[in-house]
């Protein structure tokens, strides 16, 4: 059975990256829609101010999620004994198996 953490590690980074890409594309498309008359001034006022900030937040969350997936971790370790990631730096032997 797949744990919730494993599911999040698999789906969160690509999902956040896709959302950040959509928000970035929307930043470029909204002015074109305004010129074409599809979006009115109220739509621009509502979306135009929040979208760049949302894009930056999603991009930062995406980077953090990719880092979370790529960092070393032990499978099945719940923080009990024998789950330490450290080791003896002089011998190069890792503790916790």
Domain residue extents for the chain: 4-71
In this prediction, residue 19 carries a pLDDT of 85
Q: How far lies 86's CA from each of 8, 26, 81, in Å?
A: 25, 44, 13
Token readout for 97 is: 């198996």
The residues facing 93 across adjacent strands are 88
Averaged pLDDT, groups of 10, the chain, 97 residues long: 72 84 86 84 80 88 84 60 54 51
pLDDT at 3: 77
Please give the pLDDT value at position 94: 54
Q: Where are the beta strands (DSSP E) in the chain?
A: 87-88, 93-94
CA neighbours closer than 13 Å in the CB half-sphere of residue 78: 2
What is the model's pLDDT at position 41?
80
């Amino acid at each position: 059975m797949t744990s919730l953490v494993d599911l999040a590690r698999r789906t969160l980074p690509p999902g956040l990256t896709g959302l950040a890409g959509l928000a970035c594309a929307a930043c470029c498309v909204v002015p074109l829609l305004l010129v074409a008359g599809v979006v009115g001034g109220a739509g621009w006022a509502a979306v135009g101010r929040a979208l760049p900030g949302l894009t930056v937040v999603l991009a930062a969350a995406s980077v953090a999620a990719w880092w979370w997936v790529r960092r070393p971790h032990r499978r099945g370790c719940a923080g009990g004994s024998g789950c330490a990631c450290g080791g003896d730096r002089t011998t190069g032997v890792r503790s916790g198996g």
